[in-house]
Structure 1
C-alpha cells in the first residue's frame, strides 16, 4: 500500500538534494501497512515527481523529535516550531530508497478526477510503475 503526500516544491527540492531525509507530519495516516510514499509536488509544479520508502516512523513530542531529526530536517528550527505550534505530538517519516521520476507525471494521466490531498490519501497499486502510464486508484 502507498500513500500520496502533498509536499511543497521547496521541500521536494531539499528531499532530492539529500538535505531533507525526514518528512514531517502533524498527523499520521491510520494504516500501518504503508511502506511507500508517492510524492506530489504542489503547485506550481503540480506533478508526481518520485517516491520513497519509509525506513521508520518517529513519533515524539515536537522538541524531542527535533533533537533526533534536526540534522536531516532540511528546514529551519523556526519553520519547524511554527509547523508544530500547539501540538503535543509530532511525526517524522525517515526517507530511504528515494526514486525520482525521469519525467514528472501529470496526476490526471494516472488518477481519474484527481484532487490534491490536504495531507495524504491512500493509493492502491504498490509496485505499479506510474511512469509507464499505469492507472492508480484512490482508496
Structure 2
C-alpha cells in the first residue's frame, strides 16, 4: 500500500492507528499490508496487520476516528471531498523492515515493478522474498492475503 512518508512514519510510531481510504479496501482482519512510503522516500518500509475495516458517514467519521488518523479536520475534508462515505483500515501489529528496501532494489528484484497507486495484492513468494532478510523481528504469520 502506498502511503505518504509522514503518515507511514506515524503508523510505525504508533500515533496513527487508522489509515483512511476513499474506497472501501478489500481487506479483512488478519491480512498483512506491506507499506511503501511514496516520494521522496520511495521505499518499502514495513508492514502491519489489519485489525478491522471501518466505514461510516463522512460527517461523523472524523469525530470518531480523526484523532487516530494523523490528519487535521481540514485535511480530512479535502481528502474526502465528493464522497459521502469514509473508510478506514484499523492498524494492528506493525513491523519495521530493517533495512528499508528502496525502489531501485525492488525493481532489480522484481522486473517491471511499479509502486501501487493505492494497493496491490502480493503472491506468497513475493512476500517471502521481500521479508526474507528481516529476521524474526519483522516476520509474522502469512495466513490471509498479503497486500502491498
Give runs of aligned pairs for residues 24-35 of structure 1, distance below 5 A.
Answer: 24-30=20-26, 32=28, 35=31
The equivalent of 2:122 in structure 1 is: 123
Matching residue of 2:13 = 17
* Distance verdict in 2 for CA 1:129–1:100, change over 3 Å: farther
- Distance of 1:74 and 1:32 partners within structure 2: 22
Mark the CA change 1:105 to 1:68 in structure 2 (over 3 Å): closer, same or farther: same
Aligned length: 132
* Contact 1:103–1:131 (CA under 8 A) maintained in structure 2: no
Do structure 1's residue 43 and structure 2's residue 39 form an aligned pair? yes
- The structural deviation recorded for 1:10 is 0.9
Write 1 or 2 for the structure with the bigger share of strand. 1
- Consecutive unaligned residues of structure 2, counting only runs of 5 or more, are 134-146
Q: CA RMSD in A?
A: 2.5
Q: TM-score, normalised by structure 2?
A: 0.78
Residue in 1 that maps onto 2:112? 113
1:2-46 per-position Cα deviation (integer Å, ceiling 9, x unaligned): xxx100011111112222111001113346587111100001111
Structure 1 gaps of 5+ residues are none
- Partner Cα distance (1:96, 1:32) in 2: 12
| Separation of aligned partners in 2, 1:131 and 1:31 | 20
Tell me the CA shift for residue 131 of structure 1.
3.0
Displaced runs of 4+ in structure 1, greater than 3 A?
Answer: 29-34
- For residues 81-132 of structure 1, the C-alpha deviation after alignment (integer angstroms, 9 at most, x for no partner) is 1000110111100111100111101322443211112111111118626232
